[in-house]
Structure 1
Amino acid sequence: MRQTTLITRTFLCLGLAISPSLLAEINITPPLSPPATQAVTPAPAVPAEPAVSEAPAPVANEVEASTSNTPLEDEVVTTPDGFDPRAKIKDAVVKVHVVQHTYDTLSPWNSDSQKGSGSGLIIADNLILTNAHVASDATFLEIQRHSETKRYEAEVVYISHESDLAILRTKDASAYKDVTPLELGDLPKMQQSVEVYGFPIGGNTLSVTRGVVSRIEKQNYVHTGENLIAVQVDAAINFGNSGGPVISNGKVIGVAMQSGFLTENIGYMIPTPIIRHVLADVKDGKVDGYGFHGFLAQSMENPAMRRKYGLGDTQTGMLVHKVYKNSPADGKVQIGDIVTEIDGHKIENNGTVEFRPGEFIDHTHYIDMHQIGESIAFKILRNGQEQLVNLPLDKPGKEYLLVKPNQYDKQPTYFIFGGLVFMPLNQDVIDSMDGTPARIGALTYESPDEKRSEAVILTKVLPADINKDYHHDNNLLIEKVNGESIRDFNDFYQKIQSSNTDYITLETSDHYQLVIDRKEAIERQPKILAQYGVNADRSKELQAIAQPPATPVAEPVPATIPAAPAPATAVVQPAPAVIPAAPLVMPAPVATPPAPLVVPPQPVMPQPVIPQIPPAVGGTQP
């Protein structure tokens, strides 16, 4: 389901602003005056520090080599009264300073903090739009507007890892109340001129580069590997540009996201259909993500296959080859059905749909454009007879996956027993492997069922005398504990904890066994942990299970985000974000979101209102 682009490195960057005219379109009335409540005292001015790079300096022959990417400062055309038309755009662009706390996936008891920076755009008063990979795992955030040295502390309000978008809020409710937001535009056309604004590595001042749209298609966003519509441009997009706005004809048409590695003049942005989808998604105060219709289909370009299923020269479609149990398609779609239309759009034999004259995109783009709770219509051929099937998108697609997507903003779950390290299998664990075993790779295409909702894996062994002969065991899928099947990681943990037998026997699917002397393991555990510098034999999440519930803490009041209506023309969408391991790199590829990083809200902070709007859609990151 998820593809990892090894030669791609992410310039995770996004920004967006919404103009009063756009707010009017979605029935949002901009505040006419500052709120009556007392504003929080702004943080003292802090001199601008050197930009913290998100990644190592670009290698030779990087995208900057193109003459078309020359900064535009010397090309600004002013109006007769001397006004710079780009001044309004620049005023709404900000630099995001971040400190991130990250964990070592396969040694999750180890963690580290790093500084980084990205870009963003003010979208309404004190709300800022940026990339999710810029804000994920953040412990401290500050916003600094172009042309200002003062920084304002901020917090994460919403974060959509699949879309690689995040909405931040300054703690000072009046920080940017006088800034005029920009207008959100439509999906651009091929060869349309664009300008990329942001704060790339190498300086503290705003950078503006120019290019044109060179490709529009669905790609895997680097941050999480979610496959969504993305727009390729030949404007220079460098580390630090992440989250900055991409402008065309004075309107925001996307957010800078990532850049191709070992390529020239290739950068990617998150287009407005995905931005609109996120703005509509969070209207109910939470991020749901993207739905899943419940089946997989293959192309039908092979002549023999087409003849077998009786397709004429003018008939096109895709062959259903897998239907997920308990999904919307279960009981409605069958293996062998031929899907010919989606929401009234004809599906070609290669699985694409013409979304604009002469332009095609993968048919799943129209699924991405729907919100959770909506239905999508398919026309299918079954035994030569046409049928219309409506499938409700009842829950996020990740809930139909046995192997969950990458996780952020939390410590990875783990449990050590007898020196053996166990974790739930997820995409982070797979990404950390030196090659993926076939059995584990196959699980990424499986869905949860009544017997198992999560896979458990032995990631490695901390060598000791009590686990002798197991020292080289790793990446083993544990199927049973003392002969009993495992439903999920919590079930596995409870079975180990509640066992009172002399020996605990763990089995894999091919009946390979690991036998642990329970009393010996409990007795030797402290020494093994101390020997390898492990401060806890289980993650914080598991430690909390045995602890009495803490006193409830008031949840932060979510900000209501202004959403924009979907454009008149259909659109398309991303790949996982790979953040370079440099001291200043932003965390990466995106999807659904782990618990967002949020700071308790300030009581004086005004909240924009998000009305109901139609749904919308979702590259590759450096």
Structure 2
Amino acid sequence: MIIFNMGLNKMRQTTIITRTFLCLGLAISPSLLAEISITPPLTPPATQTVTPPPAATTPTDTAVTPESPAPTQAEPSVSMTVLEDDVPPTQDGSDPRAKIKDAVVKVHVVQHTYDTLSPWNSDSQKGSGSGLIIADNLILTNAHVASDATFLEIQRHSETKRYEAEVVYISHESDLAILRTKDANAYKNVTPLELGDLPKMQQSVEVYGFPIGGNTLSVTRGVVSRIEKQNYVHTGENLIAVQVDAAINFGNSGGPVISDGKVVGVAMQSGFLTENIGYMIPTPIIRHVLDDVKDGKVDGYGFHGFLTQSMENPAMRRKYGLGENQTGMLVYKVYKNSPADGKVQIDDIVTEIDGHKIENNGTVEFRPGEFIDHTHYIDMHQIGENITFKIIRNSQEQIVSLPLDKPGKEYLLVKPNEYDKQPTYFIFGGLVFMPLNQNVIDSMDGTPARIGALTYESPEEKRREAVILTKVLPADINKDYHHDSNLLIEKVNGANIRDFQDFYQKIQSSSTDYITLETADNYQLVIDRKEAIERQPQILAQYGVNADRSKDLQALTQAPQPAATAPIAEQAPAVTQTPVTTTIPTPAPPVTETAPISSAPVAPTPAAPATEAAPTPAPVAPIVAPPPVTAPIGPFVAPPSAPVAVPPTAPVTGNTQP
């Protein structure tokens, strides 16, 4: 789901830190290890949020170590563990796994990424991941393998030739991407892999891919050990995931997980500081994405518009008159202008979702003896569909049908992580301003309580976006502000700010001698406007900044850039696609590809307040021991020539992408 599954910020920071250490080849510090083992994840304030529970963490997706050198002339061989033959034999008596191996590919990628808090700086890194051919030229892989990509090549198992590829669709919240080779006939004769069903507990699986340590196809085997909603490391989206005990390592990202000859999932992330714990994206999520892109764009996951808390407390159950056999969740917040606004009320008790009984801890029995968080049934709906709830209001049962009218991220004041673009920024008088989003929060050294509280809010007409002073480039004209950072700017010359564009226009159009910026508690920063304009080129040159604003802001104004401001380096061009119609093998429905790459980021993961903790709603489920820290198994990238600043260590939990 996308929107408000809160409490993931610690886990996301952990993932980013862990991955960064790996990229730089550094050992994890004792303090970080202590945080991993001692600091439990924050209990999410609500169940009905669209992206967080207490599971994995999410890093950004350019992760991890140098790509192994390409083989010379030798044709790749296959290294595999000894496997019992549980794949049905073919009628002609040939190796039943040969067809599977033929449809597994290695994804070579060059990724162009930006430093979040110094977005005028960027770097390119090489890496690799895995993928599987699902139809004709279409290749399915992880979003964290393909995000921020400027150059992609596909190399099929048993071949040395690489084919240049492009991104057709990318669903960041699902951590899935669909690629296509530019040569339309590249894999025309390859039999696509077929999607199977959600596996059962203890069902045997085989993981195919190209993990680090070699260039040949690797096949490992294990069994399904857990099925539940997890936080996907890439963006923190909370969706159903399957845990397996097969070895899943960096570079396995995007490779198929096979059972009974069919694809039951895509390798996604692995347990960090644990043994034989890996996670895959199961076929219900894969099918959701394939259905989603039928209209030529990625919409993502919807949000029904209210938050609930568990009702396991006996006193609470007595207060609301629940009988011994009645179960449900208590509504404690309804978002304005959401599908639930006017239809669901605070103190309603939600007892069923789409006909499935909701237990007091928020779970639903989705198979005999197996329970999953009830929000899974929201995830399974497409944007534009309706979802039905049974509620108890004033001791009377009612049926409520809510339309999932738009992606959950639209209900977030703090937007999810962004990819494939330069972060928006504006520098004035040496002060660096940015819109507040999850990328910025993840890069902070601890999250101020006021900023953490904003992750629980939805946009309103008077404020559609928050503006933050991230840091100051010290100079004589901004003396006394040098240590200011992470300040939320509420007003410019006494006028409220609606969003970052409004803030930018107010600064640009100001004609007063002084520009006064105010925070919520009336703290002021005063800038001499003429002095700031005059000294701007010198400050930018002093700190090696080539432009005082991001490229998207340059496009908003026709005013010339300051004299000493050089144009910002070109961003990677957007991926363009030529129309193509492809039928995904059964049981997946046909998919028509026409539109350009669409990137629908996942729901932001709320930040954990740093000092004074903001009051948080009652948890949806009982507190449990922190899950194993996981790491994304995506592209293993070489460290940059110069070390990139590593975000300060923050409490860590959850999953990380390979």
Shorter-chain TM band: 0.7 to 0.9
Mapped contact 2:145–2:635 kept (Cα < 8 A):
no
1:557 lines up with 2:557 in the alignment? no
For residues 436-468 of structure 1, what are the alpha-carbon distances to aligned partners after superposition, in whole Å with 9 as ceiling and x for unaligned?
Answer: 111111111100011111000000000000000
Match of 1:621 in 2: 657
In structure 1, C-alpha distance between the alignment counterparts of 2:633 and 2:538, rounded to whole Å: 36
Mapped contact 1:129–1:168 kept (Cα < 8 A):
yes
Paired letter, 1:210: R
Q: Secondary structure at the match of 2:501?
A: helix
1:518 lines up with 2:554 in the alignment? no
The 5 Å alignment of 1:293-308 reads 293-308=304-319
Match of 2:326 in 1: 315
In structure 2, C-alpha distance between the alignment counterparts of 1:386 and 1:353, rounded to whole Å: 19
Mapped contact 2:129–2:636 kept (Cα < 8 A):
no
Cα drift, residue 79 of structure 1: 6.5
Mapped contact 1:162–1:289 kept (Cα < 8 A):
yes
1:382 lines up with 2:393 in the alignment? yes
1:281 lines up with 2:302 in the alignment? no
Paired letter, 2:80: P
Are residues 125 and 522 of structure 1, via their aligned partners in 2, closer, same or farther at CA, if it must alter by over 3 Å? Answer: same
Match of 1:506 in 2: 517
In structure 2, C-alpha distance between the alignment counterparts of 1:190 and 1:217, rounded to whole Å: 11
Cα drift, residue 206 of structure 1: 0.2
In structure 2, C-alpha distance between the alignment counterparts of 1:537 and 1:346, rounded to whole Å: 55
Paired letter, 1:557: T
Mapped contact 1:285–1:560 kept (Cα < 8 A):
no
Alignment partner for residue 239 of structure 2, among 228, 248, 257?
228
In structure 2, C-alpha distance between the alignment counterparts of 1:578 and 1:405, rounded to whole Å: 18
Alignment partner for residue 192 of structure 1, among 196, 203, 207?
203
Q: Secondary structure at the match of 2:555?
A: helix
Mapped contact 2:250–2:634 kept (Cα < 8 A):
no
Are residues 232 and 335 of structure 1, via their aligned partners in 2, closer, same or farther at CA, if it must alter by over 3 Å? Answer: same
Are residues 533 and 332 of structure 1, via their aligned partners in 2, closer, same or farther at CA, if it must alter by over 3 Å? Answer: same
1:325 lines up with 2:361 in the alignment? no
In structure 1, C-alpha distance between the alignment counterparts of 2:329 and 2:308, rounded to whole Å: 6
For residues 310-351 of structure 1, what are the alpha-carbon distances to aligned partners after superposition, in whole Å with 9 as ceiling and x for unaligned?
Answer: 101100000001111100000111111100000000000000
Alignment partner for residue 147 of structure 2, among 136, 151, 173?
136
Match of 1:72 in 2: 81
1:203 lines up with 2:224 in the alignment? no
In structure 2, C-alpha distance between the alignment counterparts of 1:148 and 1:262, rounded to whole Å: 35
Paired letter, 1:214: S
For residues 237-278 of structure 1, what are the alpha-carbon distances to aligned partners after superposition, in whole Å with 9 as ceiling and x for unaligned?
Answer: 000000000000000000000001111110000000000000
Q: Secondary structure at the match of 2:80?
A: coil
Are residues 99 and 554 of structure 1, via their aligned partners in 2, closer, same or farther at CA, if it must alter by over 3 Å? Answer: closer
1:290 lines up with 2:311 in the alignment? no
Are residues 530 and 578 of structure 1, via their aligned partners in 2, closer, same or farther at CA, if it must alter by over 3 Å? Answer: farther
Cα drift, residue 582 of structure 1: 6.5
Paired letter, 1:136: S
For residues 265-304 of structure 1, what are the alpha-carbon distances to aligned partners after superposition, in whole Å with 9 as ceiling and x for unaligned?
Answer: 1000000000000000000000000000000000000001
Match of 2:650 in 1: none
Match of 1:172 in 2: 183
1:535 lines up with 2:556 in the alignment? no
Match of 1:19 in 2: none
Cα drift, residue 561 of structure 1: 5.3
Match of 2:35 in 1: none
1:413 lines up with 2:424 in the alignment? yes
The 5 Å alignment of 1:471-486 reads 471-486=482-497
Paired letter, 2:266: V
Cα drift, residue 559 of structure 1: 4.3
For residues 155-213 of structure 1, what are the alpha-carbon distances to aligned partners after superposition, in whole Å with 9 as ceiling and x for unaligned?
Answer: 00000000000000100000000000111000000000000000000111000000000
Match of 2:409 in 1: 398
Match of 1:66 in 2: none
Structure 2 length as normaliser, TM-score?
A: 0.77
Mapped contact 1:223–1:577 kept (Cα < 8 A):
no
In structure 2, C-alpha distance between the alignment counterparts of 1:156 and 1:246, rounded to whole Å: 22
Structure 1 length as normaliser, TM-score?
A: 0.81
Are residues 230 and 581 of structure 1, via their aligned partners in 2, closer, same or farther at CA, if it must alter by over 3 Å? Answer: closer
Match of 1:127 in 2: 138
Mapped contact 2:249–2:633 kept (Cα < 8 A):
no
Paired letter, 1:202: G
Match of 1:17 in 2: none
Cα drift, residue 556 of structure 1: 3.0
Q: Secondary structure at the match of 2:538?
A: helix
Mapped contact 1:290–1:371 kept (Cα < 8 A):
yes
Cα drift, residue 583 of structure 1: 3.6
Are residues 562 and 405 of structure 1, via their aligned partners in 2, closer, same or farther at CA, if it must alter by over 3 Å? Answer: farther
Are residues 275 and 577 of structure 1, via their aligned partners in 2, closer, same or farther at CA, if it must alter by over 3 Å? Answer: farther
1:102 lines up with 2:134 in the alignment? no
Match of 2:64 in 1: 55
Cα drift, residue 555 of structure 1: 5.7
Q: Secondary structure at the match of 2:165?
A: strand
In structure 2, C-alpha distance between the alignment counterparts of 1:91 and 1:282, rounded to whole Å: 26
Q: Secondary structure at the match of 1:545?
A: coil
Are residues 10 and 204 of structure 1, via their aligned partners in 2, closer, same or farther at CA, if it must alter by over 3 Å? Answer: same
Q: Secondary structure at the match of 1:399?
A: helix
Greater CA deviation, 292-301 or 77-86? Answer: 77-86
Are residues 561 and 428 of structure 1, via their aligned partners in 2, closer, same or farther at CA, if it must alter by over 3 Å? Answer: farther
Match of 1:62 in 2: none
In structure 2, C-alpha distance between the alignment counterparts of 1:238 and 1:137, rounded to whole Å: 21
Match of 2:103 in 1: 92
Match of 1:443 in 2: 454
Paired letter, 2:657: Q
In structure 1, C-alpha distance between the alignment counterparts of 2:183 and 2:306, rounded to whole Å: 47
Match of 1:370 in 2: 381
Which ranges in structure 2 are unaligned for 5 or more consecutive residues? 21-61, 67-78, 560-572, 590-601, 606-629, 641-654
The 5 Å alignment of 1:595-606 reads none
Match of 2:167 in 1: 156
Cα drift, residue 73 of structure 1: 5.5
Mapped contact 1:220–1:620 kept (Cα < 8 A):
no
The 5 Å alignment of 1:1-80 reads 1-2=5-6, 3-4=8-9, 5=11, 55-56=64-65, 71-72=80-81
Cα drift, residue 83 of structure 1: 1.3
Mapped contact 1:221–1:577 kept (Cα < 8 A):
no
In structure 2, C-alpha distance between the alignment counterparts of 1:553 and 1:200, rounded to whole Å: 29
Paired letter, 1:556: Q
For residues 477-532 of structure 1, what are the alpha-carbon distances to aligned partners after superposition, in whole Å with 9 as ceiling and x for unaligned?
Answer: 00000000000000000000000000000000000000000000000000000000
Q: Secondary structure at the match of 1:557?
A: coil
Match of 2:369 in 1: 358
Cα drift, residue 54 of structure 1: 5.2
In structure 2, C-alpha distance between the alignment counterparts of 1:298 and 1:462, rounded to whole Å: 44
